């Protein structure tokens, strides 16, 4: 969506709904809107996107991540290469990010359905990255599999509390790791 603000007729056209249906959603509070001084409703782009995502509506599906896209977030180039090679062999499309700051751009451009997230990286650590992704309504549906070489109960509890959907320890057991990815992508958490 390139528009920032929609009128009810514009939102209705974009959602392939009638004006009356969109108006009912606005009046019920299911679709957030503001009233102008001229008594006309206006809907912000982010509110319309969130509403469409919650309702599972087309054409918003074109903004949804593909099931087979995985973003690998790790500062170790060897881990990046190994995961990319392994996941590509299983028909997953991958992108890599070396730090937490790069993740925001990759999430927006690549639209992954899963992020494999290292906990300890320079700059922004995995805990903060996870919190930011899960707090943002436009990325909160992305599954996050936290990975670490520093397995402690505290790290596991902390990342799961931050919103991670799964947790695993390096070095990976390939078959278990792939099964965990498959389960997360198929919502079998």
β-sheet with 143-148: strand ranges across: 93-97, 69-73, 114-118, 143-148, 166-169
- The pLDDT profile of the chain, 189 residues, written as one tens digit per residue, is 457 899 999 888 887 778 888 888 999 999 999 989 988 999 998 888 888 877 766 555 444 555 689 999 999 999 999 999 999 998 899 999 988 778 888 888 888 999 999 998 887 899 999 999 999 888 888 999 999 999 999 999 999 999 999 999 988 888 999 999 999 988 755
Residue matched to tokens 């509110």: 47
Q: Comparing C-alpha atoms, which of 113, 141, 114, 118 is closest to residue 129? A: 118
Q: Residue 34 half-sphere exposure, CB side, CA atoms within 13 Å?
A: 10
Burial label for 93, CB within 10 Å (0-12, 13-18, 19+), is middle
Instruction: Give the model's pLDDT for residue 65.
Output: 53
Q: What is the CATH number of the domain that holds 172?
A: 3.40.50.2300
Based on the fold, state whether residues 74 and 56 are members of the same structural domain.
Answer: no
Q: What pTM was computed for the model? A: 0.66
Domain of 171, in residue numbers: 69-185
Q: Comparing C-alpha atoms, which of 139, 149, 129, 153 is closest to residue 109? A: 139
Based on the fold, state whether residues 32 and 76 are members of the same structural domain.
Answer: no
Based on the fold, state whether residues 74 and 127 are members of the same structural domain.
Answer: yes
Instruction: Give the model's pLDDT for residue 42.
Output: 93
The answer to whether 174 touches 181, Cβ cutoff 8 Å, is no
Q: Which tokens belong to 176?
A: 């278990």
């Amino acid at each position: 969506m390139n528009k920032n603000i929609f009128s009810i007729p514009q939102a209705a056209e974009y959602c392939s709904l009638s004006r009356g249906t969109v108006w009912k959603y606005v009046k019920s509070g299911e679709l957030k809107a503001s009233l102008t001084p001229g008594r006309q409703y206006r809907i912000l782009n982010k509110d319309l996107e969130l509403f469409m995502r919650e309702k599972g509506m087309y054409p918003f599906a074109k903004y949804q991540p593909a099931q087979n896209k995985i973003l690998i977030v790790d500062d170790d180039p060897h881990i990046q290469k190994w995961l990319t090679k392994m996941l590509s062999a299983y028909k997953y499309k991958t992108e890599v990010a070396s730090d937490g700051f790069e993740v925001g751009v990759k999430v927006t451009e690549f639209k992954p359905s899963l992020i494999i997230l290292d906990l300890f990286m320079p700059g922004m650590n995995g805990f903060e990255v996870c919190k930011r992704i899960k707090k943002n309504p436009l990325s909160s549906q992305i599954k996050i599999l936290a990975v670490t070489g520093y397995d402690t109960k505290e790290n596991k509890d902390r990342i799961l509390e931050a919103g991670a959907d799964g947790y695993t320890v390096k070095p990976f057991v390939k078959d278990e790791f792939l099964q965990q990815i498959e389960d997360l992508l198929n919502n079998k958490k």
